[in-house]
């Protein structure tokens, strides 16, 4: 479990593609301290397992499933990535609940400077539109952000200078592909409302009994 608060920008030192699965080596400074083989770490929002450590470098194995739903195939030596270690139970949840399970990717449609902030607009598959809510949370490349607006298959976020300068947002450009994890609470609500029992919000005595309300 993560928060979407990036701890450090890492650099991919090497990457090996074997049958559409990847071995990725990442160089880091801050998060490497105390890191152990078997630990989880979010790389651009995708939860990965550390399989090797050497100096200030760690290695992960990204399976076919991970590669198919993320932007990992666009990585190359020298690429910058957002890094976050899992949330500690005694820590403040300053971002939002992020599982590290990427839902899909989105393409950057526009970047606009507005005073000291930057507005990013993304294109996303329409199937995820119901999980996007204005003022709701979203994880973009592992960064906890707030949705400013949603229109058709596009959504906007506003990035403050601190977030822009301390994450890979400063390296992004129009046309780039980013990892997206929608809000986990929104997913449960959408699933509940779309179930056969709840079409058109058809709440019945039988439904209430089966769900423990009566």
Phi, psi of 94 (to 5 degrees): -80, -20
| pLDDT digits (tens), the chain, 214 positions | 899 999 999 999 999 999 999 999 999 999 998 899 999 999 999 999 999 999 999 999 999 999 999 999 999 999 999 999 998 777 777 778 899 999 999 999 999 999 999 999 999 999 999 899 999 999 999 999 999 999 999 999 999 999 999 999 999 999 999 999 998 887 877 777 776 555 555 656 676 667 665 5
In angstroms, rounded to a whole number, what is the distance separating the alpha carbons of residues 16 and 93? 35
Q: Write the CA distances from 149 to 120, 132, 146, 157, 193, integer angstroms.
A: 11, 9, 9, 7, 22
At 1 the pLDDT is: 86
Beta strand 117-123 with 104-114: parallel, antiparallel or unpaired?
antiparallel
Q: Which CATH architecture has domain 8-84?
A: Beta Barrel (2.40)
- Architecture of the domain delimited by 104-192: Beta Barrel (2.40)
Question: How many beta carbons lie within 10 A of that of residue 42, not counting itself?
Answer: 30
Sequence ranges of the chain with CATH classification 2.40.30.20: 8-84, 104-192
Residue 138's alpha-carbon distances to 5, 60, 189, in angstroms, are 12, 25, 15
Spatial neighbors of 4 by CB under 8 A, at least 6 apart, are 45, 84, 95, 96, 98, 137, 139, 142, 143, 144, 145
Angle, alpha carbons 183-48-79 (nearest 5°) = 95
- Give pTM, 2 decimals: 0.87
SS3 (DSSP) at 168: helix
Q: What is the pLDDT of residue 202?
A: 62
User: What pLDDT is recorded for position 188?
Assistant: 78
């Amino acid at each position: 479990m993560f928060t979407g608060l990036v701890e450090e920008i890492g650099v991919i030192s090497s990457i090996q593609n074997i049958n559409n699965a990847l071995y990725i080596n990442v160089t880091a400074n801050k998060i490497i301290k105390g890191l152990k083989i078997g630990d989880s770490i979010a790389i651009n929002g995708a939860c990965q397992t550390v399989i090797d450590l050497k100096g200030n470098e760690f290695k992960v194995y990204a399976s076919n499933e991970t590669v198919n739903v993320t932007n990992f195939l666009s990585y190359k030596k020298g690429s910058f990535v957002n890094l976050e270690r899992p949330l500690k139970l005694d820590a403040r949840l300053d971002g939002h609940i992020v599982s590290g399970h990427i839902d899909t990717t989105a393409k950057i449609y526009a970047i606009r400077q507005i005073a000291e902030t930057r507005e990013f607009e993304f294109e996303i598959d329409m199937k995820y539109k119901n999980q996007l809510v204005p003022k709701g949370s979203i994880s973009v490349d592992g960064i906890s952000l707030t949705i400013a607006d949603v229109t058709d298959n596009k959504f906007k976020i506003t990035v403050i200078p601190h977030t822009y300068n301390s994450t890979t947002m400063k390296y992004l450009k129009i046309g780039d592909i980013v990892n997206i994890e929608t809000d986990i609470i929104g997913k449960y609500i959408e699933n509940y409302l779309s179930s056969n029992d709840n079409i058109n919000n058809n709440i019945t005595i039988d439904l209430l009994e089966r769900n423990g309300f009566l």
